[in-house]
Structure 1
Amino acid sequence: MGERITSPCVGLCSTTLGDRVCRGCQRVDSEIRDWPALSGEQRRRRMAELDRLRAEVAGRFLVVMDPASLEAQLRRHRIRFRNEQPPLSRAVELLRVGRGRIRDLSRYGLAGRDGEDVATLHERITADLRVAAERRQALLPDLLDLPTLDP
């Protein structure tokens, strides 16, 4: 039996709208298409790279004060995360899902760097993530040793 195929997909694929880089998971359209053909190790490397990207961007706006509280809230609200996923990467998904409902970030083990409300933080993180993901796309073949499956 084959290895379970994990994916960074969050069910918000903007590549179907013509974006080259998905606004939801920050993967390039060809990376999304080729995902099932990648080995487990290739997928793990890509997941780690995407986690680093999210953590780097989120770290400009957020501080994780209590990783255990963040994890507890993710579980409570049934927001999907992976054990190896860094807390700041997890926080990106939390804000995506809860941006309209979260009032007090400290209850989630987080603090904003600039005192902005959650919706504004989410907008700023999302905008910077898109720019960073587009830069990543330009480096993808070299950075991640992405196989070319096109003829």
Structure 2
Amino acid sequence: MRKPAVKTPCIGVCSTGIGDAVCRGCKRFSHEVIHWNSYSDEQKRAIDGRLSCFLSQCVRNALTVIDKPLLAWQLQVQQLRYNPEHDEYCWVFSLLKAGAGQIDRPADFGFEVHASHARLGLPQLRDLIDREFYILSEAHYERYMRTPDLFGSITS
């Protein structure tokens, strides 16, 4: 059975054009943004897998999914775009991106906020998660993508 084509993670907020090595919108590396259309499905899946793992990790630091079927149902009822191949923590982020300010009771959507983050409103929590996702992607880029040039300085 053939897997569906990998959709671009682009959200239309690209910062690589202004010199960022990691896009502040989709969190891909600049070379991945540039070469996306020339990548094979396998290469795209590898990038998508890295991004979804990083996002899931950041979301798990702040909240817990307590009812995955309820969350999936809410996403469908709200007609929100999400990737069913990603885990439920990525789904929660899709929900928060679309309407964090409209959710009064997270449990009605299948998740709960950790006590350590309870003082934050959901819009602030969404922004915190997004910032951590960017920092994690940037750290990965710095560690594994940047290489020293012949003169010992770091280049992209």
Q: TM-score, normalised by structure 2?
A: 0.79
**Percent identity (aligned):** 27
Aligned position for 1:88 = 89
Aligned position for 2:29 = 28
Write the distance in 2 (CA, Å) between the matches of 1:70 and 1:8.
21
1:98-113 pair list within 5 angstroms: 98-113=99-114
Aligned position for 1:132 = 136
SS of equivalent residue, structure 1 residue 111: strand
Query: Shift in Å at residue 52 of structure 1?
Result: 0.4
SS of equivalent residue, structure 1 residue 128: helix
Structure 1 counterpart of 2:140, which letter? R
SS of equivalent residue, structure 2 residue 126: helix
Moved more, 129-138 or 4-13: 4-13
1:9 is aligned to 2:10: yes
- 1:14-61 deviation digits (Å, cap 9, x = unpaired): 334543322221111211111111111111111111110000111100
Q: Is the 8 A contact 2:6 2:45 kept in 1?
A: no
Write the distance in 2 (CA, Å) between the matches of 1:4 and 1:96.
23
Aligned position for 1:149 = none
Q: Is the 8 A contact 1:22 1:29 kept in 2?
A: yes
Runs of 4+ in structure 1 deviating by more than 4 angstroms, as ranges, are: 139-142
CA RMSD of aligned residues (A): 2.0
- 1:52-103 deviation digits (Å, cap 9, x = unpaired): 0000111100101111111112122222122211111121222122122222
Structure 1 counterpart of 2:122, which letter? V
Unmatched runs of 5 consecutive residues or more in structure 1? 143-151
Query: Shift in Å at residue 139 of structure 1?
Result: 4.2
* Number of residue pairs matched by the alignment: 140
SS of equivalent residue, structure 1 residue 63: strand
Query: Shift in Å at residue 118 of structure 1?
Result: 0.5
Write the distance in 1 (CA, Å) between the matches of 2:39 and 2:61.
31
Aligned position for 2:121 = 117
Query: Could you say which structure has the larger radius of gyration?
Result: 2
Structure 1 counterpart of 2:125, which letter? L
Q: Is the 8 A contact 1:20 1:28 kept in 2?
A: yes
Q: Is the 8 A contact 1:103 1:117 kept in 2?
A: no
